Amino acid sequence: MASINSRAGKLYIDFRYFGKRCREMTLLEDTKPNRKRLENFVTKLEAEISLGTFHYEKYFPNSKKLGEFQSLELIKETNSHHDASMSFDNFGKLWITEKKPEWRASQIQNVEDIFRIYLNPFFGKMAVNCIKKSLIMKFRGQLVENGNDGKPLSASRINHIMTPLRMVINEASERFEFESPWKNIKPLTVPKSDIQPFDLDEVMQILDNVRTDFKPYYTVRFFTGLRTGEIDGLPWKNVDFQRRQIIINQAIVNGEIGATKTQGSNRLVQMNQLVYDALLAQKTISYGKSEFVFCSKNGSPLNHRNITKRVWYPLLRYLELEKRNPYQTRHTCATLWLAAGESPEWIASQLGHSSSKMLFTVYSRFVPNLTRQDGSALDKVLKEKGLL
């Protein structure tokens, strides 16, 4: 039974929902007219709870309890729709709620954006069991033509949008026992990644001309292969000067510190002399000022978009080098290690790859001697044996 009470001269409603006690404050002064007004509100609230049609968000859209009860309401709605007539929108919300413990905050945001911008406007009100293959193909066709805002989308982006759609539909078909329409729908062909590493002369040209306060930053990027989120989220506690190692176990994405890209990305990165000296130089700048090795003037983590716009691209223009995104520092590091003859297995471990396969697939064309494309390796052996 709900009740109307007062605290600090303001009225609040006290009731139970899903067996939990709820107290929701109002902005109403404790007066007889306002209590009468709330009585009507409470009567309607109790009636909807009894009928099973109550939705917390409808009554208390700004409540701190909203997330907790939205999940319970979705589960209840799922259990009550054994005929698979649950809307795509509602089942998608439930699916995201269930998957959140498995995902990083950035991934959750990415998936929620895909539903909000692309999936729900097209499929939202449809019952999940009414979504046919023809509708899926029509949806993808629209993405190919003009995306959601009239701009063309890349094949990679379209595949990223289609992935949660496939997962939701297949999960719904298994849960509600209907045949999944997702049959023989293959991902679009994605062109190979645009790998544009710098050569060693270009690297040294960049480091000789970059702003002094950013020279340690780009030195570490070029000679460790750290991802942007890994270097921007690197804390001083993870820099071991004694062992000459950098511990990678976190990254910053969209301003939030979280786990690295994959479990295999957690690793120990060895410092060469250039990296060691760069970190010692950086220590005089930021150690004690911030927990992060590389930080802004107020000690907060770097904003990589701002740094790219204000430091990286202007430097490339000044040096008349082809415009390339900062991630090419990672590709550069990989090709330099390969060209120097380092073990592919060691390089893979330093980059946080699970195997060396990607090195040969992605980088081998930049290092002809590694793949023996010139045939010189066999000639050398034959000469040593006196066969040539």
Contact 283, 366 (CB under 8 A): no
Predicted local distance difference test score (pLDDT) of residue 44: 87
Q: Which residues of the chain have pLDDT under 50?
A: 370-373
CATH 1.10.443.10 at 200-371, yes or no: yes
Q: Report pLDDT for 84.
A: 58
pLDDT, residue 241, reads: 96
Q: Given this model, what pLDDT does residue 227 score?
A: 94
Express each pLDDT in 156-197 by its tens digit: 899 999 999 999 999 999 888 889 999 999 999 887 767 899
Q: How far is CA 334 from the centre of its chain?
A: 23
For residue 60 the two structure tokens come to 């208390």
Angle subtended at Cα 307 by Cα 252 and Cα 150, rounded to the nearest 5 degrees? 85
83-191: CATH superfamily: Tyrosine recombinase, N-terminal domain (1.10.150.130)
351 contacts: CB under 8 Å, gap ≥ 6: 225, 330, 333, 334
Q: What are phi and psi of 292, to 5 degrees?
A: -95, 145
**Contact residues for 100 (Cβ-Cβ < 8 A; gap 6+):** 108
Task: Please report the pLDDT score of residue 66 as a whole number.
Answer: 81
Domain boundaries, the chain: 1-80, 83-191, 200-371
| pLDDT for residue 49 | 82
Residue 107 to residues 171, 227, 304, Cα–Cα distance (Å) = 19, 17, 18
pLDDT at site 231: 96
Q: What pLDDT, on the 0 to 100 scale, is given for residue 360?
A: 77
Q: Which pLDDT value is given to residue 80?
A: 55
Number of alpha carbons in the 13 Å side-chain half-sphere of residue 343: 5
